[in-house]
Structure 1
Amino acid sequence: MKKIGLAVCYDTKNYGSQLQVLATLKKIEELGFETEIIRYKKKISPTFIVQTLPRLFNIPFIQAKINSKKKRNRIDKHDQLRDDVKKRNDRFNKFVTDYFTNLSEQYNGWESLVRKSNQNYDTFLCGSDQLWLPHNLGSHFYTLEFANDDKKKVAYATSFGVSEIPNNLKKGYKKFLNRFQFLSTREIAGQEIIKELTGKNAKVVCDPTLLFNSEQWMKILPEEKVISEKYIFCYFLGDNNEHRNQAEILSQKTGYKIVTIPFLDNFVERDLTFGDYKMFDIDTKDFVNLIRNAEYVLTDSFHGSIFSILNHKKFITFNRYTSGKGSRNSRIDSLCHLLNLNDRRFEKNILDNIFNDIDYDNVEIKLNELRNASISYLIDSLGATK
């Protein structure tokens, strides 16, 4: 039996990305399949140049590159911060080494990827994360365009990240989406996009991290205390100062210290002084444990919200992005809607609802329904026997 080739974002310096890859691997292997994470390294060739040229006109892609460079430049101005971020990146890399042992050989260049991967796998799966963001479209990898027409192509909980696709990119999206035999997404907006572009009825499934409950996650990533005293865990990827103000209001009210993991997605000047504990020597297991042992969780992160829910925490989710066509709030919108947790979205004052009890019994009922339906989708799409 050939392996299932996984096109997943396993080596990103992002806790949520690593957790959803780990969950995808564990669940597919639990269903009886052998998996391999496809390692693709781009190589300059005529094909690469033809594929890459359109990205020069992809505004979201260019903006993402500019923002990334700005962040690096600002961090490099602070010697200690640069060293701290390197230490955290080393922890990310070690997590890959420790937990993702099923890596393929490295396919160097598009031609090698096409030839060797189609020899090695009968089925290809791209899994979760915001792999279909407009600025990612030009890579042609997470869209499985390297897989032959006769190979089974499955999308599990793959996210567009936005609620609308720019008009100039719709033709490209329609082309690659129509090559999938099985399509699913983790947000309602993504389901609507697929319907509009292809006429297909995609399944809304849960993020891979929700395929396991808190007890199962405890076996995958055992519990360890990272901070010994009571604390508020603030996991902010955005740069909104008001969110930090609200955290300080809660800290003053409760007397609990604030724990942060700063400078992940953005360089935020405020984060040089925000929080009582600024954590850098932290890997993905530590991230989960910081949520497990927090008294309260305040976050603008999708996976910060997910692991708060899994661990029955009192939490508030802030909007990282302003609303509108380019907003990337849709995955959190869907999560809260599907689990009836809209009251955990921040409105005006953190003290209005942070102390309110959450009906986690009802949440677990809805979550189990979604989890079971999602596992059924995986069984059907992969052809599992259990």
Structure 2
Amino acid sequence: MIGVCIKYFHENYGGMLQAYATITMLENRGLDYELIRYEKHYSLLGKLKQLPRLFNGILLNDKKEFFLKKQGKRKHPEFRNNDMIRMQAFDKFKKEKFAKLSPVFRGYDNLCKGANRYSAVVTGSDQLWSPAGLPTNFYNLMFVPDSIRKISIASSFGVKNIPWYQISRTREFLNRIEFISMRENRGSEIVKELTGRDVPTILDPVFIFDENEWAKLIPKKREFDEPYIFAYFLGANPDHREAVRSVAKRLGCKIVALRHLDQYVEIDEQFGDYAPYDVSPARFLNLLRGAKYICTDSFHGSVFSIIHHKPFVVFNRYDEQSKHSKNSRIDTLCVNLTLKDRRFVSSEKLLQQLTADIDYKEVDKQLASLKAMTNNYLDIAFNGL
């Protein structure tokens, strides 16, 4: 049996659909698996060892977003109630799709012992190798014995550089993993720099399935009859909202927006003609499928736009100079699939970008090559299991 370390439980549309794609891929390969459940339990000494993590800039940035969302719910009861509706939609999807669960391993010692029940342990995609999570030693598979096969599937550091004080520990866990593949070109470069190993850059698991296969996994359903722009923003940039609002008027489209996703964004209260909250990952996919155009700063928002051959523009969620920037995943996506012209340039050019034809024949050609490489890597990594 294979143990799977992924964030299937995190209320993020792209992340949850990626987790669903990962386990579906395992099922299609006839592999028995279970999702590993780990409950952290630290001794006093263990808690003290975690203190330096609180000064990690990437973690602090993530905590800031969490704080702003929590503060927004406290100040705005209506949003708190709406967010509860969204969480219930996520919870229903989780219960339906993620049923093969391990026992709960409480505490790191029990997690290490529990790993012996597996012939291999898999991790990957999302940003599970972010420097912010290094000290937990979970997604980097440090808890897995040397004798058990360790596999990463399209792993992501989420950053362009590993902090200097984590280089040694990052090198250590990379050297323990027999099969490594990365989702970003920069991620593969980092592995090469730290270990000397050449590892492939493969597709995010959601790309394993094409539009027709996704329609079988999540049936299509029309949500709105009138033409609309699907605005899926995780960041809080007001200029991005205004650019979409302006171009929607020129195109004669409504705006369907998902508000306050990673944090409470005040201006979102006035953004979008429709802003549903009862949106599960399945409904999210159908909102995207039914859109005439898509504007997003999300990696997976872009990926599903590509899978469904949608006209889309991807905005930078992070400033390129920011130490917390996670734009490298968008860089790789657009470069590897010849879609650099899909990057947002300016409000003045958004109309031209959205309505410009995308050569999806060429994109599909690139995808086919990358999918073959991805499947070849998976064939080798899972051979004999």
Shorter-chain TM-score bucket reads over 0.9
Task: Name the residue aligned to 2:82.
Answer: 84
CA contact (8 A) 1:51 1:139 kept: no
CA contact (8 A) 1:32 1:384 kept: no
Tell me the amino acid that sits aligned with residue 162 of structure 2. I
| 1:110 pairs with 2:108 | yes
The alignment's TM-score, normalised by the length of structure 1, stands at: 0.96
Once the two structures are superposed, the pairs formed by residues 6-45 of structure 1 within 5 Å of their partners are: 6-45=4-43
Secondary structure (helix, strand or coil) at the match of 1:365 reads helix
Q: 1:323 and 1:175 mapped to 2: Cα distance? A: 29
CA deviation after TM superposition for structure 1 residue 35, in Å: 1.2
Task: Name the residue aligned to 1:232.
Answer: 229
Q: 1:230 and 1:103 mapped to 2: Cα distance? A: 41
1:7/1:48 Cα in 2 relative to 1: closer, same or farther (>3 Å)?
farther
Task: Name the residue aligned to 1:69.
Answer: 67
| 1:160 pairs with 2:157 | yes
Secondary structure (helix, strand or coil) at the match of 2:355 reads coil
* Match among 211, 216, 219 for residue 214 of structure 1: 211
More displaced, 81-90 or 109-118? Answer: 109-118
Q: 1:343 and 1:45 mapped to 2: Cα distance? A: 51
Q: 1:329 and 1:59 mapped to 2: Cα distance? A: 16
Between the two proteins, what is the percent identity of the paired residues?
Answer: 41
Q: CA RMSD in A?
A: 1.4
Secondary structure (helix, strand or coil) at the match of 1:376 reads helix
Task: Name the residue aligned to 2:360.
Answer: 360
| 1:243 pairs with 2:213 | no
Q: 2:374 and 2:11 mapped to 1: Cα distance? A: 27
Task: Name the residue aligned to 1:97.
Answer: 95
Task: Name the residue aligned to 1:181.
Answer: 178
Tell me the amino acid that sits aligned with residue 351 of structure 1. L
Q: Residues 102-133 of structure 1: CA distance to partner in whole angstroms, max 9, x if unpaired?
A: 11111111111111222x10101102110011
CA deviation after TM superposition for structure 1 residue 54, in Å: 3.3
CA contact (8 A) 1:42 1:109 kept: yes
Q: 1:45 and 1:102 mapped to 2: Cα distance? A: 30
CA deviation after TM superposition for structure 1 residue 51, in Å: 5.0
Q: 1:47 and 1:124 mapped to 2: Cα distance? A: 28
Q: 1:384 and 1:69 mapped to 2: Cα distance? A: 46
Secondary structure (helix, strand or coil) at the match of 1:232 reads strand
More displaced, 27-36 or 96-105? Answer: 27-36
CA deviation after TM superposition for structure 1 residue 236, in Å: 0.5
Task: Name the residue aligned to 2:127.
Answer: 130
Secondary structure (helix, strand or coil) at the match of 1:200 reads coil
Once the two structures are superposed, the pairs formed by residues 44-59 of structure 1 within 5 Å of their partners are: 44-45=42-43, 48-49=46-47, 51-59=49-57
| 1:265 pairs with 2:288 | no
Task: Name the residue aligned to 2:339.
Answer: 341
Q: 2:259 and 2:135 mapped to 1: Cα distance? A: 30
Q: 1:50 and 1:155 mapped to 2: Cα distance? A: 30
CA contact (8 A) 2:72 2:79 kept: no
